[in-house]
Structure formats: C-alpha cells, structure tokens
Amino acid sequence: MTFVFISICLCVIFIVYVAISIWMSSDEYFRKNGKRAEGFVSSVQSAHRKDVYGNTIRPEFIICYQFRDEQERIWRGKLSMRSRVCSMKEGDRVEVHYIPDKPHRNKAQIAYKQN
C-alpha cells in the first residue's frame, strides 16, 4: 500500500514539474513576466534537413537577433522559422521579451509578412 502511495505521489510531482516547465517556456509566460525590448535581426541562416533518401524536407531558417536590457547590456538570441521563404533580413526589427534577472532567457516575436 505504501509503495503504491509513493508511486502515485512521484507521478503527480513529475506531472506538476513538466507542466511548470512547459508554462515557463511559453510565449505567454514571457509576455506576462518579462520586460519588453526592441531588438534587430543580426543574421539569417538557412538550414535544410534531408530524409533518408536525400530529399530536402522542412526547410528552416535560423534567425539570430540582438537586444539591450535595462542596463544597456547586449544580449543575443536565436529562433527558428520553418518556411520555404524567409521574410526576415538583417536589420529588421523584432520585439523581444526577456526575464529581467535572467536576460539570457528571452523570446523574440516576429511579425510575419503576408504576401
């Protein structure tokens, strides 16, 4: 009986841990708890994955950006965009949300351009 109770408690603790981890990496968490900063795209790199037959699948772009925190320190971040064409280019503005005491934890919001 005690073993079953301990197993159930451990499962509940694990589920709560996973839920909190997912929430703390969500866009909503960064918008609610983070500071907003304006940044810019510093580079755009293309990366193509291939399947076992050598066919290109899931073209993706790695977008590197920079922003300044409240102390004017420069921080960098990356995000990936899966698309056949990348509408972002160097110098484009991005909105960044970062956690004030941990600016290395940041997320960029990129407005997608409609063609």
Q: Which CATH class is domain 34-109?
A: mainly beta
Q: What span, in angstroms and rounded, lies between the C-alpha atoms of 104 and 48? A: 27
Please name which of 111, 115, 105, 108 lies closest in space to residue 80, comparing C-alpha atoms.
108
Please list, in sequence order, all residues whose beta carbon lies within 8 angstroms of the beta carbon of residue 3, skipping any fewer than 6 positions away: none
What's the confidence (pLDDT) of residue 24?
Answer: 65
Per-10-residue mean pLDDT, the chain, length 115? 84 83 70 88 86 79 93 93 82 92 87 47
pLDDT recorded at residue 115:
40
What was the pLDDT predicted at 114? 41
